Amino acid sequence: MIPIALPLLAEDEADAAREAVLSGWVSQGPQVAAFERDFAAMVGAPHACAVSNCTTALHLALAALDIGPGDEVITASHSFIATANCARYCGATPVFVDIDPDTYNIDPDRVAEAVTPRTRAIIAVHQMGMPCDLSALVALAERYGIALIEDAACAAGSQIRMNSDWERIGKPHGRIACFSFHPRKVITTGEGGMLTTSDAELDGKFRLLRQHGMSVPDTVRHGSPQVIFENYLTVGFNYRMTDIQAAIGRKQLAKLPDIVARRRAIACRYAELLGNIEGLSVPFEPDWARSNWQSYCVRLPTILDQKAVMQRLLDQGIATRRGIMCSHREPPYADAERRHDLRQSELAQDHSILLPIYAQMTEYDQVRVADALKREFNF
Ligand SMILES: *Cc1c(COP(=O)(O)O)cnc(C)c1O
């Protein structure tokens, strides 16, 4: 069986988890602080704050910006549902706009059309690890005085060329970037997330909100020779990462350059193997983007039945997934006001499939996937 994804976890992650367990400090503590420093250094961000997952990271991003009822947040429907849900958690309204069919990322022209006096933020997703058009989106956010939040759940290790320099996603280029360490992403801590920002005040708010609004963290009280009483300054949350997760995350982070290099080589090989199948579209990478290839998404011709193709591949031991979902087609958003055309989002969901990709994938298995897919085109 060729799985859709497989985390690259080994003895060193197991050892790190063991050490964290035996250290006696298993909740948010020194390993979390070290993981934050390592992650900030990797992406080039002044501040990084670890949390329980990317969904809670996105929630904290909006909460720290005081986004609430009556506010509108422009985002893509064509994303994992957590992107839209975080606006709803705050009582704000997600306003869905369409994607660029070549990159599956939010279309900056559609964002510009959707801005209203109520717009407070844009959540731009680096979908499947492919950087979105940050130059255009940063300019738009500045022009309208709204916050740009990057949903970088899939994009650890991806790069973008900004003003002729290659920079990592998460620097961040918007106000805040949010990452996921779920096993379907490129590096994992089981569950986990990270917020990066250049704004020290925002970083302080994340730290307060992730830990019940507590004025003095338990790590500080634990190490203090004085008795300290804490206060609870706001209604916060428990969105902490554990030290066990962070210890694993530090080992994963050290492997990230190698993992991304392998995924890029696999994506390159897929393009060679699949590029000449007439009617099949392989993914497009703009010359200013270097994806980490969290997912490898190909587009089928509309005459092929997506589900039937996926079933025949599964019958041959090859797992696939359909194209990224559209939130506006799911029950929580079915009755939401639909102001903008979402045709490209729907076409992408209905006619794309994600192929297996993971750092350990062998050339042999890639050829198996390519051959099985080719057989679908003998119509
Ligand atoms: C995976 C994902 C999330 C959610 O991340 P979790 O860590 O599982 O909460 C959010 N947005 C996008 C685009 C994702 O792919």
Q: Could you identify the atom of ligand 1 that is nearest to the CA of residue 58?
A: 10
Name the DSSP letter for residue 79: S
Separation of 153 CA from ligand 1 center, angstroms? 5
Domain count, the chain: 2
Domain boundary among 221, 253, 285: 253
Q: The whole model's pTM is what?
A: 0.97
64 shares its domain with 191: yes
272 and 297, same domain (yes or no) = yes
Beta carbons of 81 and 55 less than 8 angstroms apart: no
Same domain, 229 and 345: no
**Of residues 185, 205, 251, 255, which has the active-site annotation?**
185
Atom of ligand 1 nearest to the CA of 57: 9
Residue 288's domain comprises 256-375
Q: Which two tokens stand for residue 4?
A: 């859709």
Distance 374 CA to ligand 1 centre (A): 31
Q: The domain that contains 79 carries what CATH number?
A: 3.40.640.10
Q: How far apart are CA 1 and CA 5, in angstroms?
A: 11
Please check whether residues 25 and 157 belong to one and the same domain: yes
- d(CA 125, ligand 1 centre) in Å: 10
pLDDT along the chain (379 residues), means of 10: 97 98 96 98 98 98 98 98 98 98 98 98 98 98 98 98 95 98 98 98 98 91 91 96 98 98 98 95 97 98 96 98 98 91 98 98 98 90
Q: Are residues 243 and 308 in the same domain?
A: no
312 to 86, 163, 305, 339, 377: CA distances (angstroms): 36, 46, 11, 38, 13
Question: Ligand 1 pocket: which of 154, 241, 321 to mutate (most atoms <8 Å of CB)?
Answer: 154
For ligand 1, pick from 83, 125, 188, 354 the residue to mutate: most ligand atoms within 8 Å of CB: 83
Contact criterion met (CB below 8 Å) for 98 and 109: no
The reply to whether 196 falls in a domain is yes
Asked if 127 and 139 sit in the same domain, the reply is yes
Which of 253, 288, 319 is at the close of a domain?
Answer: 253
